[in-house]
Structure 1
Amino acid sequence: MGTSASTEQKDISPEQRELEGLAASTGAVPMLQKAFANLADPQENAIPIQSLQKCFSICYKRATREPPGAFLPDSILRFLGHLGLSIVDVFFVSNEGGLSWLEFVRGYLNCCGRMTASVCLTNLLRIFEVSAKRAGLAAELGFESDGTDCKVMGYLMPSDIYALLIMCWSMLWSTRTSSFSRSEGDSIFYVPEVENLLFSVVDSCAEGGGSSDFWNCDVFNLQAKVPAGKFMTWVLATIPRLPDCFSQFVSGSLQHLMASESTQDSLGSSSSLSKDTNWKGSSSTHLLNRGKAWAISLAFRGPASEEILRNFLCCSGDEMNESLLYRSSVHGKGLNRFWANIEGYHGPLLMLISASCGDSHHENMRGKKWTIGVLLQQGFENKDQFYGNPGILCSIDPIFHVYLSTGKESNFVYSHMRPSGRVYQPHPKPVGIAFGGSVGNERIFMNEDFAEVTIRHHAIDKTYRPGPLFPNQGFLPIEASVIEVEVWGLGGTTARDVQASYKKREELFTEQRRKVDLKTFASWEDSPEKMMMDIVSDPNRVQREDR
């Protein structure tokens, strides 16, 4: 077999040594050897093409949208059914007898080797273009050559972009859950809400067909054309992790083979939708549903991004609720209720604010609902000035945009509670929560009652990059009524345990302060309070000392 030949140095050709060296740099050689052993025909010492296609196939019996009942084209399932065949045809070049060890390693490197982000995105578009043609979709994409680092030409329609996003989601779901049978097609495909990503593409890249009313826009009736070059620029700037879905899918599919002793067991023994109950939970009632969580996770890299996906892919309902630190409709509105739930949490946080423009001087914004988000790298602190580490502002719904920090200023977050007691302040600081801008002129400011949020133009903010937080924002400040506020903890179990210890300690201190030593204050004549009152009432009075 190819695996045995690779262990005998004297029989290794320079080409094979080079390819195995490149695979070793990714740490994938043991996985590839095991996958080759499971897939290959022992007599031919090669992988049958049909076996590899089956390894990468995704088959579903039916599909349903989030939210339930939303329209979903029938062509989506037909399109996903051609995915395995397209991957093998594009990246795994073989002879008539099957795929040798050398060809197998080369194909893997073409999918998952070390390459630039633009090349990874080009590979993803290649797979989409081939699968779309097989499914009968009219994707007008072209490539100037067969090489990986080539120019992508043509354009994409909104329906094409929607299918591409769903293809990437299906790859992610397959890799992270392993909860469906890839060969029998007996599972249900739950399609998340990705309209905000699609509207972001149209808003940023469309030529002559973009709609400005994204609240009343039908995704499948949009006729705007998006040039392929502009689309690639948007992906790399807004959701740079999208191409990772393909490489992770290929690697995860091959790793799936290592858990079984035979190809048949590995491809047919997985239980159907073992985590199906997660998908039927109540996440659709939250501001942060699966589609929005996926969009945010695609915007940046790091442990916090993985924690978002873990909450909506691999967690039970109870575990997901543990990550939801605060929800205004459950815990109550206001800065005090907010502080009681998030105090002591020292880790990344995601705060979402849903609001509606009421009697606004912007006629086109009156009654419109939108959602914005802020990703923080640390917990909140009670300060009367800005603080924190670089974070991210997000326009989440109805359109998705991401605004990273500029590095010019460090006014990332402001959270100030009303001072306890009657303390005179000649110049009182605003009480509430804010992000960006400056004190008194914040880009986002929510008052202490969590009743109103004020959004100002990005020109006053040098901390975060410029851009609107919702469609048709305009230049004048907009005051909107807050509908819902959510705060999700992204620090994992460690941050939750630290917060639990903090709360337990605070409860202990509070209980100790409530206790009164009755022996000390049994007699009013012996109490320190009476002595002080006597001194104040008659400072010249002679005090008799008991001896």
Structure 2
Amino acid sequence: MGASSSTDNPAAAAAHEQESLAAASLPLPLLRAVFSSRSSSLPDTLAFPPATFHSPTSPPPDHFHDLLAALGPAIASLFFSPAASPSSSSDWLSFLKGFNACCARARASLPLAHLLRVYAAACARAGAPCGVRFQPDDDKVVGELAPAEIAALLSMCWAMAWSGSAPTPRAADEGAEPVLLPDVSSLVLSALVSAGAVADDAAVWGWEASGASAAKGVSAQEFTSWVISTVPGLGSCLSRYVQDRFRSCQADPVKGRSVSAGNATSDASDVYLLTRGRAWAISLSVRSALSEKFLSASIIGMDTEDLLYRSSAHGRGLSRFWSCVEGYKGPALILLSAFGGGENVDADQRWGIGVLTEQGFENKDTFYGSSGFLCATYPIFRMLLPSGTEKNIMYCHLHTQLKTYEAKPKPLGLAFGGSIGNERIFIDEDFSKVTVRHHAVDKTYQHGSLIPNQGYLPVVASILDVEVWGLGGQTTKHQQDVYKKREDIFSGQRRKIDLAAFGNWEDSPEKMMMDMVSDPNRNQREQR
């Protein structure tokens, strides 16, 4: 009899349903603590932590700091109605509904619509221009986003992700150093090219988001399609931000003081190919545990101990490459920077591509691998997932010490996708040239161009630099170190010569053969 009381009470059933949804995101005791202690000041709970942002390449978007200051009140007004009594069950149910509206799992377009709604409300509070608007009592978004607005939205989303590692407002220091914003120009340009606002040819070279105020904008529907196909992780930024703010209000303020100290004041764009902006773009595209790894890299930078190979530091060539990556049995990111498709192309027209693999390198004369991703990193960002049709993920072949005759020798180099002789990406043995072919020759990865104005003919370009980053963590790196030490011991044993094993020269078969060669009739004369 008592078990049916909850089903007879619609309010209790609704509360139980909302609690079940909310518990999948945050523990219910934490939500009750937030509701009881901060129910009358949710805008303060959701407020963005005090921080100053700067960018080494271009100034932050206009009204950016005002936009962040209006973020908390905008979320509170849209999803959490003011609570008159913390002990009221109806207010608790309303609180849960607001939390589930922005944090519960939903179809891909709904979280993005909520994010755009928050962005529009924050722009209205900050006095910033915003081209998107919503119909009354409807989640359908209309209007269009200008390039500068896309840059502001993307920068705001990264700042929301950064706030998860930032100190609480009470523990924030007055004299904290400015936080470095990543470069989002490749993402903005990718959205414009996807919507047809910028042609995917010579127009992308030298494009800057700060000077694109007169460029055509992207409609809300086109922007939504681009996010779902290219950076699906962008829609979860709002849910992540709300959960982080709720956790921070119950955390120890002293522990939050040393979190954001790792964000340097200078970008590594002139040092490594894996910049903060490219790491964040990859984190938004990858739907796996590696997403957190790249998100951390976009905030504090990649650990240099994870750099397995860099052509400018370790030397060019497949043998140098193999000496650095051999024995690493974990996911890795290969980044390549090249320029031009011929001798008459301007050297400033550089482009970058990358490959994300989920297993280590093997010296084989055939393709191998279980899963991988191709991506264009500069000037346009694209991520090409596996198609599932073929499994020609990667190819790494170099000559070993034991050489044998081959009637049809396999090509020496590093390749991804396609087939032998028609690889999607092929890096030669000397790491001096890279060949990129049209997607029609490849059934392993999704269709799409990797470089601007690629065309149907193979593009042969000069390589500027190659980087390989290990993503397997300290355990995988330790296993590689053990493997290398064992190989060094074996190599030393093979090179070591034990003179005692040769025995006495007078009794050796070699001396007898030398004597016979020098005087072949000696034995006959002795018999006489």
Instruction: Place the TM-score, normalised by the shorter chain, in its bin.
Output: 0.7 to 0.9
Q: Secondary structure at the match of 1:405?
A: coil
Q: Which amino acid aligns with 2:417?
A: G
**What is the CA distance between 1:71 and its match in structure 2?**
2.9
Equivalence for 2:207: 217
Distance 1:54 1:528, change over 3 A: farther
Equivalence for 1:130: 121
- Does the aligned pair in 2 maintain the 1:142–1:152 contact within 8 Å? yes
Equivalence for 1:347: 330
Per mean C-alpha deviation after superposition, the further-off stretch among 502-511 and 18-27 is: 18-27
- Does the aligned pair in 2 maintain the 1:202–1:210 contact within 8 Å? no
After superposition, residues 90-489 of structure 1 pair within 5 angstroms as 90-95=78-83, 100-147=91-138, 150-175=139-164, 177-179=165-167, 181=169, 186=174, 187=176, 188-207=178-197, 212-222=202-212, 223-260=215-252, 266=253, 270-271=256-257, 274-276=260-262, 278=264, 280=266, 282=268, 285-313=271-299, 320-357=303-340, 359-360=342-343, 367-421=348-402, 423-489=404-470
Q: Which amino acid aligns with 1:204?
A: S
Sequence identity percentage: 43
Equivalence for 2:4: none
Distance 1:383 1:75 in 2: 55
Q: Deviations over 1:71-129 (max 9, x none)?
A: 33341111111101101011102245679433322221111112222111111111111
Equivalence for 1:263: none
**What is the CA distance between 1:207 and its match in structure 2?**
4.4
Unaligned 5+ segments in structure 2 are 1-7, 524-528
Distance 1:441 1:209 in 2: 28
Per mean C-alpha deviation after superposition, the further-off stretch among 432-441 and 306-315 is: 306-315
Distance 1:206 1:297 in 2: 25
1:54 equivalent to 2:40? Answer no
Q: Which amino acid aligns with 1:131?
A: A
- Does the aligned pair in 1 maintain the 2:334–2:356 contact within 8 Å? yes
Distance 1:369 1:103 in 2: 53
After superposition, residues 10-25 of structure 1 pair within 5 angstroms as 13-25=12-24
Distance 1:282 1:36 in 2: 42
Distance 1:530 1:70 in 2: 80
Q: Which amino acid aligns with 1:112?
A: C
Q: Which amino acid aligns with 2:277?
A: G
Q: Deviations over 1:307-337 (max 9, x none)?
A: 223344357x7xx011111111111111111
Equivalence for 1:545: none
Q: Name the TM-score, length of structure 1 as normaliser.
A: 0.85
Per mean C-alpha deviation after superposition, the further-off stretch among 530-539 and 230-239 is: 530-539
Distance 2:161 2:520 in 1: 80
**What is the CA distance between 1:276 and its match in structure 2?**
3.8
- Does the aligned pair in 1 maintain the 2:354–2:377 contact within 8 Å? yes
Distance 2:294 2:517 in 1: 61
Distance 1:427 1:210, change over 3 A: closer
Q: Which amino acid aligns with 1:515?
A: K
1:519 equivalent to 2:500? Answer yes
After superposition, residues 68-83 of structure 1 pair within 5 angstroms as 68-83=56-71
- The size of the alignment, in residue pairs, is 510
Q: Secondary structure at the match of 2:337?
A: strand
Q: Deviations over 1:391-414 (max 9, x none)?
A: 111010010011111122221111
Distance 1:208 1:313 in 2: 29
Q: Name the TM-score, length of structure 2 as normaliser.
A: 0.88
Q: Deviations over 1:426-485 (max 9, x none)?
A: 211111001111111111111111111111111111111111111111222221111110
Distance 1:210 1:359, change over 3 A: closer
Distance 2:116 2:432 in 1: 45
Per mean C-alpha deviation after superposition, the further-off stretch among 223-232 and 533-542 is: 533-542
Equivalence for 1:3: none
Distance 1:398 1:130, change over 3 A: same
Equivalence for 1:42: none
Distance 1:193 1:323 in 2: 22
Unaligned 5+ segments in structure 1 are 1-8, 40-46, 261-265, 543-547
Distance 1:293 1:387 in 2: 26
Distance 2:411 2:208 in 1: 41
Distance 1:535 1:385 in 2: 51
**What is the CA distance between 1:61 and its match in structure 2?**
4.9
Distance 1:283 1:204, change over 3 A: closer
1:499 equivalent to 2:480? Answer yes
Q: Which amino acid aligns with 1:159?
A: A
- Does the aligned pair in 1 maintain the 2:333–2:468 contact within 8 Å? yes
Distance 1:94 1:309, change over 3 A: same
Q: Deviations over 1:510-530 (max 9, x none)?
A: 122222223212433455766
Distance 2:485 2:282 in 1: 32
Q: Deviations over 1:223-274 (max 9, x none)?
A: 21211111111101111111112111111111112224xxxxx4x9842764
Per mean C-alpha deviation after superposition, the further-off stretch among 80-89 and 283-292 is: 283-292
Distance 2:22 2:465 in 1: 49
Distance 1:252 1:444 in 2: 41
CA RMSD of aligned residues (A): 3.1
**What is the CA distance between 1:423 and its match in structure 2?**
3.2
Distance 1:385 1:398 in 2: 32
Distance 1:208 1:311, change over 3 A: closer
Q: Which amino acid aligns with 1:216?
A: G
Q: Which amino acid aligns with 1:170?
A: A
Q: Which amino acid aligns with 1:483?
A: L
Q: Secondary structure at the match of 2:499?
A: coil
